[in-house]
A and B are shown apart, each in its own frame.
Chain A
């Protein structure tokens, strides 16, 4: 972690960000804001965080040269293997950071929202490790489509509470987590799973995930003699794995940053979750950002086959990167993601998470040259998605 602030002191990235929260959440958010920076910049915290990332989560995650995939697309394609982390995704980087923060703040009870269940499982995991009570809110639909993760969380000792409003997906789970926090202001720490929510969450989650790009710099140097690839590709739900792998490269303008959102059944349909493509500026879950809404400012229900990308908002950092043109945001449909998942599996023997499959689906959409170095963030592994993959029957 270095001292780069890409948001200002009130949590704005350009016009996006801030903390649009009701007064009932103010003390919670303000007490976190007041201390987070000094805590995470302290030597003691850095030491403990780094030790757990190494010895518990299994970092650094490998950078793998995907030879057969490279042949297919005519470029040098590397995979950043976040799928090999403990609990199977990048989410553990963030939950380790936040639980250490919660401990330093003297909190005893942890709440979280989850979509795919990866953040929920990563939260339940660190709660087991630290002996803390854990309540995870999860949309009822997501509980059905990501059942293995529900079982995992329960085995880890978490209570998984179904969110039964709206589409019964990630947005609704986040609403319930915020309501829980309103009702439990004294003892509870809310571990948010992505670079969303009120300031300081987008900033602190970005910092915890920035370990991904930190490692990439030296790994790429060792393999290619340069720190800078031509392209970095990551899927974007809320945008935390993308924020993590983009972070150290934001000021390195010649590295093309590509975020890939879930198009669902297509961005021209109502069944999509491609927020940056179809969304407009508004306020969701305490942050001013791009979001999917109707002309009355009601938040519309997103759709994606991937529970982790099925969210109508996006982190303010990405709204800003999109607005300034520093990053480009593509999208991939359900079918393109399924094809890409099968392709990686058959070419490289790696079954990616459905979320990460969206990033892979962008490879065919870029005009790659043989000398191009491309890094794709494999944010998670596909065990949880076996049902969807089996149904797809490629």
Chain B
């Protein structure tokens, strides 16, 4: 069974998934970050493949992506860094990035390499679900990789149900109409939306992302979903004064 499905089967709620940009702060931090996230008790990791034009991202991830690219990160190098990752961790691992570099790498090559490396899923925001269904679903199935779909506060119920139906792992609930890192607290309209999704009784589990920055927001979204995804706030914490492992552990402890 794919590790993503296994995680949701084993663990009931309060799942914590963390996003970081590969190649940031330094080119070779990838394994250290994954190892420390595992040690600090995180459940799943999203490894960001940096892109030159991250349209859905706010300033924090724009900047980490820019630095990662300057440091020399690319998909090939990332796969090399991850070659022995399954000796390091059993957590589900997801590659997250924009479609153009993946397209350039070649979707078939990319999924084959994911499978070989022990990657479990992808999140590619600008790969539209209809294009995925038309062109890539069989390849994903063949390589046992799960593509994760996003829903937003603007998504219609019909759309949400469609995405739930084609989803093979979990649904990424975008908390708010913002780019990443653009909000740090939730109000009534956010919780209404989280509750609405909860009441739809979808078959897929849901993780909420965008704007989870501390214990309060983490607990808030866990009330209505299966867990949370933290990105910008985590990346900001890497700039702390301690060593990389210290910064990571300190940050995760502020969440749970």
B177 partner, pick from A19, A178, A185, A293, beta carbons under 8 A: A185
For residue A300, which residue of chain B has the nearest CB?
B52
A266 CB-CB contact with B under 8 Å: no
A318 CB-CB contact with B under 8 Å: no
Q: Are B102 and A183 in contact (CB under 8 A)?
A: no
Q: Are B126 and A283 in contact (CB under 8 A)?
A: yes
Q: Are B69 and A183 in contact (CB under 8 A)?
A: no
How many residues on the B side are at the interface (Cβ–Cβ under 8 A)? Answer: 38
- Give chain A's interface residues, CB within 8 Å of chain B: 18-24, 26-28, 165-166, 171, 175, 178-179, 182-186, 282-286, 291, 293, 295-300
Enumerate chain A residues within 8 angstroms of B129, measured Cβ to Cβ.
23
Enumerate chain A residues within 8 angstroms of B102, measured Cβ to Cβ.
297
Q: Are A26 and B154 in contact (CB under 8 A)?
A: yes
**A21-B128, A22-B125 known; A296-B177 Cβ under 8 A:** no
B231 to chain A, nearest CB (A): 14
**A23-B155, A26-B154 known; A296-B101 Cβ under 8 A:** yes
Q: Report 26 cross-chain contacts, Cβ distance below 8 Å, ordered by A residue.
A: A20-B99, A20-B126, A21-B128, A22-B125, A22-B126, A23-B125, A23-B149, A26-B128, A26-B159, A27-B155, A27-B156, A28-B154, A165-B66, A179-B58, A182-B55, A183-B179, A184-B177, A185-B154, A186-B154, A283-B100, A283-B126, A284-B100, A286-B126, A297-B105, A298-B101, A299-B100
* Chain B window 166-193, contacts with chain A (Cβ cutoff 8 Å), 1 for yes, 0 for no: 0000000010011100100000000000
Enumerate chain A residues within 8 angstroms of B151, measured Cβ to Cβ.
23
* Chain B window 30-55, contacts with chain A (Cβ cutoff 8 Å), 1 for yes, 0 for no: 00000000000000000000011101
For residue A20, which residue of chain B has the nearest CB?
B126
B99 partner, pick from A178, A283, A295, beta carbons under 8 A: A283
In the assembled complex, the Cα of A165 lies from the Cα of B179 at a distance in Å of 15
In the assembled complex, the Cα of A296 lies from the Cα of B102 at a distance in Å of 9
Enumerate chain A residues within 8 angstroms of B155, measured Cβ to Cβ.
23, 26-27
Enumerate chain A residues within 8 angstroms of B51, measured Cβ to Cβ.
298
Q: Are A298 and B52 in contact (CB under 8 A)?
A: yes
**A183-B182, A299-B53 known; A24-B177 Cβ under 8 A:** yes
Q: Which 4 A-B pairs have the closest CB atoms?
A: A297-B104, A297-B101, A22-B125, A27-B154
In the assembled complex, the Cα of A299 lies from the Cα of B149 at a distance in Å of 25
Question: B132-176: which have CB < 8 Å to A?
Answer: 149-152, 154-156, 159, 174
10 A-B pairs besides A27-B154, A179-B55, A282-B104 with CB distance below 8 A are A23-B125, A24-B152, A24-B177, A26-B128, A26-B154, A165-B62, A182-B178, A185-B177, A283-B103, A300-B52
A282 partner, pick from B76, B100, B156, B178, beta carbons under 8 A: B100
Q: Are B104 and A21 in contact (CB under 8 A)?
A: no
